[in-house]
Chain A
Amino acid sequence: MSVRNKSFLLALVILLPVVAIWHLFSGTIDIDGDTFWTAVTNFDSDQLSHKVVWELRIPRMITALIAGAGLSIAGLLMQTLFNNPLAGPYVLGINSGASLFVALAIMAGIPVLSSDLGIVANALVGAFLFGLIIISFSSVVRQQISLLLIGLMLGSFTSAIVSVFQSASGLEELKIFTLWALGSLQSVTLEQLPILFAAFAATVLGGYLVVKPLNLLVLGASEAAMLGVRIKRVRFLIILITAVITGVVTAFCGPIAFVGLAVPNLIRIVMKTQNHGYLILGSLLTGAIFLLICDIAIQLLETKFALPINALTSLVGAPFVILLVLRRLR
């Protein structure tokens, strides 16, 4: 690894805990360092500030970190798999699959489905199913642009179906779903964190398991196959990893756009390498820092207006992607 990339990664490793701690201390309720420390070391359930630390601050920080890091890794894997810098869980409709099945869970009125785990399971199934749909299209269409269009159409199609559900469902369900769809990092409870963490661990582990195939896939699927990559197996594994992290994050936080698209591209441009061992690490750290900063901004603005996380990531991400497209066309 070049000295430049080493220093870059080192800077990220230092920056991440700084931003994470900053995130822990942002929010409308003022909590000083001492109170925070007592809450961690000597928890007292009667103290409001202690409850805020454990029930709001810590889960929200970890959620932002994991969602940002996980979606970025998922985006990186998909971009390499499809050999397309504009691929990502959101663009290719993996989120849409999760959304559709969450909509089913919340609004179809079947109680089993609408429990916490039920929603997660639904999001997982939806994400994986749509991943398989994209995979099957990818072997038929020749041009990568077609695949992106199909992904976008899947998105429109599902949102149309979701609208049908919405018009047919009760007020209470509609409210729950609408809030979910806006996206938020604050709905994860301490008890749910292990699910999120397990999905994240699986993503990082899975990502590093396919580092060698990923490094070859940048040459294109046919060349990778000629160099010994078992394409079908690797493809399935990557879609599975992407579905797990996208499904779980989407279930808890709602659809979060552009993180998975923008961060890996930024990392490739900055690190100027195709070694996925480093790209995964860079995307993980940058994705976490990016979403933490977005969420800090949301909390700073909270007193004036409530900005959904999905809106903020799109506000920042969409212009970046346009820049990216212009850069490639040049």
Chain B
Amino acid sequence: MITSKDLHIGYKQALVAVSDLHLEAGVYILIGKNGSGKSTFLKTLTGSIPTISGTISLHGTSIHSLSEPERPKKIAFVQTRFPVVDFLRVSEYLALGRSPHTAFFGKLTDHDKEMVQNALEALSIEHLTDRHTNELSDGERQMVAIARTFAQGTDIIALDEPTAFLDYQNKSEIVEKLMELGKTHGKFIVLSSHDIDQSIASGANFLIVDSKEKKLSHYPSGTSKEVIVEKAFN
């Protein structure tokens, strides 16, 4: 359960208030205008920036009370742009996802290798294992980045506009995959998106930043397009 209490988020001063959340595991799509605070929410959720006031907790533990080494064991983040690195294979990139769990020199245990293998299977990208990450297509990159968070084995996966640079087919594939994984793995998957039609079709829950009230609230799946547009963009 992700819960929040009297949460206000922003940089230095409050940008958005968050109505008290009680979220069960599942997929949540974050919708709002540009600059409305979507990224700010993701950064707060991942503990990258402090809250202005109030708390946000995972299973009763405040995210901001987690130590730097503890946090990446519980929370993973996927940037919009996949880091382009020479000479880094998909399997090696996924193995880096295990680093919050590995010892000082980062040596992989059998369990770590198993987690990497499971992640490849969960995303159905075993065929990419030995490919270099800089030779992947945009769609493949996002799949690989998501697989990395699965290897990381976190409860929370936050994705900043994961479909922004993808074509229609890749967008659908990514969103469908996230929905499937959200159902089967009991994780909290939170992604921001600008594609409202696709988000509604996916059957995910919504976190909508109300543009007038400057308030982020939870809306269940099945919320109509009119309501979403009215709240987020009016």
Give A residues with C-beta under 8 Å from B.
208, 211-212, 215-216, 218-220, 222-223, 225-228, 230, 268, 271-275, 277
Contact = CB atoms under 8 A, between A and B. Distances in A.
Contacts of A277: 105
Chain B facing A: main interface SS: loop
B83 A220 contact: yes
A273 B92 CA distance: 10
B113 interface: no
B4 interface: no
A268 B87 contact: yes
A223 B46 CA distance: 12
Contacts of B102: 212
Given A212-B99, A228-B100, A218 B88 contact: yes
B177 interface: no
B82 to A, nearest CB: 9
Contacts of A226: 46, 48, 72, 76-77
Contacts of A228: 68-69, 71-72, 99-100
Contacts of B128: none
B162 to A, nearest CB: 14
Given A215-B96, A227-B100, A277-B105, A222 B79 contact: yes
Given A215-B106, A227-B152, 11 more contacts: A208-B105, A212-B104, A215-B96, A219-B96, A220-B83, A226-B72, A226-B76, A228-B99, A274-B86, A274-B92, A275-B92
A274 B96 CA distance: 11
B166 interface: no
A171 to B, nearest CB: 51
B14 interface: no
Contacts of A218: 83, 85, 88
A85 to B, nearest CB: 9
From A272, A274, A277, residue with most partner B Cβ within 10 Å: A274
A277 B108 CA distance: 14
Contact of B87 (A211, A227, A274): A274
Q: A-B pairs with the 4 shortest C-beta distances?
A: A212-B106, A228-B72, A219-B83, A228-B100
Nearest to B106: A212
Given A226-B76, A227-B97, A219 B48 contact: no
Nearest to B67: A228
B159 to A, nearest CB: 12
A76 to B, nearest CB: 14
16 contacts: A212-B106, A215-B106, A216-B96, A216-B99, A218-B85, A219-B85, A219-B93, A223-B79, A226-B46, A226-B48, A226-B72, A226-B77, A227-B152, A228-B100, A268-B87, A274-B92
A183 B31 CA distance: 61
Contacts of A227: 72, 96-97, 99-100, 152
